[in-house]
Structure 1
Amino acid sequence: MTAVPRELILYTTLGCSLCEKAKVEIWPLLEQFQLRLREVDIADDPLLMERLSTRIPAVGLGDPNQVCCWPFDSAQLREWLCHQ
């Protein structure tokens, strides 16, 4: 049985142009870390909006208190993922 990939969550919101730039850095790492990308719109969650509104794009593995915030490149994101 194949393991289900973990999710890398991209905290975003509608019209976030920096989020599109972040995706370019994220895509090459998904297969390497056996991750699946899931986008979460922070506007749909008041707690996320309060916590991340000035920090998006941000990526995390599920805990919104442990995120890697923009600006990052693939190398920085790879380093962050290695320590998660």
Structure 2
Amino acid sequence: MSHLTLYQRDYCHLCDMALAVMAEAQAPEFDSVWVDDAPELEARYGTRVPVLRDARDGRELDWPFDAPAVRTFLSAM
């Protein structure tokens, strides 16, 4: 299990874009969590997805982000 999680929704074009950005940034392995069926996640992330979260320190990177922003986020690890 990775310490990185990408919160996303089903059928979310922004989430698809975020996945492409993560690949471009050469992000390490991360888990994907869909917020659609979890009321607590829907309440927290519903209007913010996609969101990249580092479970080790609780930092979150909200969309919109690009590859340089992801690399900067990851360099703080």
TM exceeding 0.5: yes
The number of equivalent residue pairs is 75
Q: C-alpha displacement at 1:83, in angstroms?
A: 1.9
Q: Does 1:75 align with 2:68?
A: yes
Q: C-alpha displacement at 1:7, in angstroms?
A: 4.0
Q: C-alpha displacement at 1:22, in angstroms?
A: 0.6
Contact 2:4/2:52, CA 8 A, preserved across alignment: yes
- Residue identity in the other structure for 1:46: P
- Residue identity in the other structure for 1:9: T
1:22 aligned to 18, 23, 48, which one? 18
Structure 2: runs of 5+ lacking an equivalent: none
Bigger Rg, structure 1 or 2 = 1
Q: C-alpha displacement at 1:53, in angstroms?
A: 0.7
In the TM superposition, structure 1's runs of 4+ consecutive aligned residues that sit over 2 Å from their partners are 5-8
CA distance in 1, matches of 2:20, 2:35: 20
3-state SS of paired residue (2:18)? helix
TM-score when normalising by structure 1: 0.75
CA distance in 2, matches of 1:27, 1:37: 11
Identity %: 28
- Residue identity in the other structure for 1:23: L
CA distance in 2, matches of 1:6, 1:15: 24
TM-score when normalising by structure 2: 0.81
Structure with higher helix content: 1
Report the aligned-residue RMSD: 1.9
